[in-house]
Structure 1
């Protein structure tokens, strides 16, 4: 497969894409250091990698790093509305990376592009939502024999992969990059928090201060969204099914209530749970007039779109990423970005500085799998602790921050039980 084997929107956008890729690279010092290391050591020499990821400037820099390490890489999009078309063009023209991705591609094209990525006959996969791994297992089982391992970037994807492992359906090891401390503590909380609010503000240009803002789910992404909404002056409500997370939200100063109650009083509702029908028919029937609804989970199933359509008498599009649904009861509901990832569909996704750590984990996990994947069982594995800590230390160094080290006496004290009061 060669770089001229691609399916993108417009190759003429390549120069613009390269400039934006370089801009993001300046905010990714950890990945820069790994890139330099990979150029020298070639830890992925000969590895065939197929990656189903958001085609953004940050992803392009990850791809360049893997390429520097010796990998033969093919990319496709992990969401129909996540592709930045100028980046896809630059990947093909300037970096010779076969790319199959177009913003706004329909469902048939989306899965066709996944098929093109699998035609690369990968030995390693990288996923953002587990669609690539799922398709490989369901429709290209002939490729399993060549597979060494994969990695997964999202909470939703890890949930799917653990379900596969529980059913003994997973045929090769996968590293849950999403669960690395340097990923979910920073990318999910600070990246999703900022980029989701960014997407909502860009799409609507509505002031958040003084509004009632509901977040469905208080995982790391939900925490980040709630934190940023509160920082803008919104009154934040959390809906949850987990009593521990609900209690944490209450202790963090947020209101906690069922969605049926929250829907009736919310000016904004954002879903971030990884589950389906979090906003459902019953909620639309009581929802506050003019409520803006958006999704920050990976798939567009968190909002029950068929139920919303069934209740809709008419629709109009007042802004590029806003579709107003007029319901039978006269209320209006403003759906953002077709229920897709609002931070990518209506904005530019996570800032490069947080993706720096996530993609550092991805790059180092790929090298780890290439070396050790054959000895791992077919299960979902954590990022090796030494990789996670190395990424954290590299980020601290890049930020010009130092930390203390334990003395020999302190290390001894922590490793013994004899010394007391």
Structure 2
């Protein structure tokens, strides 16, 4: 064990003062209030403190703390407003002053708006160029090295996981809801769909596109995808209903599909729109991602294409609020997935126990039949021996005794099997919570 101890003089150092604290009843450790962790100084002394200060985790914690303090201060700071000149302006000012901030305003204000905008633009660029999520791993350190004087680069953290949950739980749901609202507001629309084999998931993929009139022109937009286990008419109908659940179907004027005689309408241009979507799908498949993430990427790419580029996508307050809530949605999703896996594991375990119990019951039935047969045969041989004499009687008695010994052995097996059955039954009752 080292001989170095915590020195009170370290607390006077300007670099250490904001975050360094001693550990009560242990003078061989220090405590970092930013990282909320203990630092051992027994071996290296003050050099251990310096090493921790220059570490990546401490710098990231420092950056988040500084940005959070700045955001809270800017959110809570009062704004100067001119005095109203009329009674109407006075009423308007009073109403505005007393109205509480919305949840969207709070989510945006509590995060770093400038940094968040940069992260959203980077995620849009990742989707537009079909980059894999793994390519973003460690990108924050690269930006900090490239732009050491940038405050945004210091707080920019958009690695593989964050890029993924911003896209799937922040951008894609917002763009889809925005598209649904636009379609319902536009009026009449045409529904187009087609299905093909997804080479990545090895499942049939049903892509849905919608055509409607907006901004004085015809818009053809990607609405979503469904992954099919089977491709029967009933399966297609079920998944199509899931895709259009939020649309006003009273405004539907046509349904288009490529290569089917069961459609209400089928045009060459409609088929081209859907087939073009599959070409985008092939580029997205290179990431080898989950089905839900693939649909999210498709929605984002469609929005970028409609806006004319990643830099032309409007970064509205509502969009930033959706992105700010993506992490909490991601955590909820992870918890749901954990519970789903646990439920599946318990179901498999119960199914295995039920199968074992069924095998044991069949074994018990066979053993009972064998025991009854052995007992019956042994009794018959003993009865036959009573009417005989000499060597024949001896042979019959020997056979009878042999069968009785086997009968006892089978009875022991039967007793053990019965105990296993009771134990397995108790295990199943425990799984069911009975």
Which one has a bigger Cα radius of gyration? Answer: 2
Relative to the length of structure 1, the TM-score reads 0.28
Relative to the length of structure 2, the TM-score reads 0.28
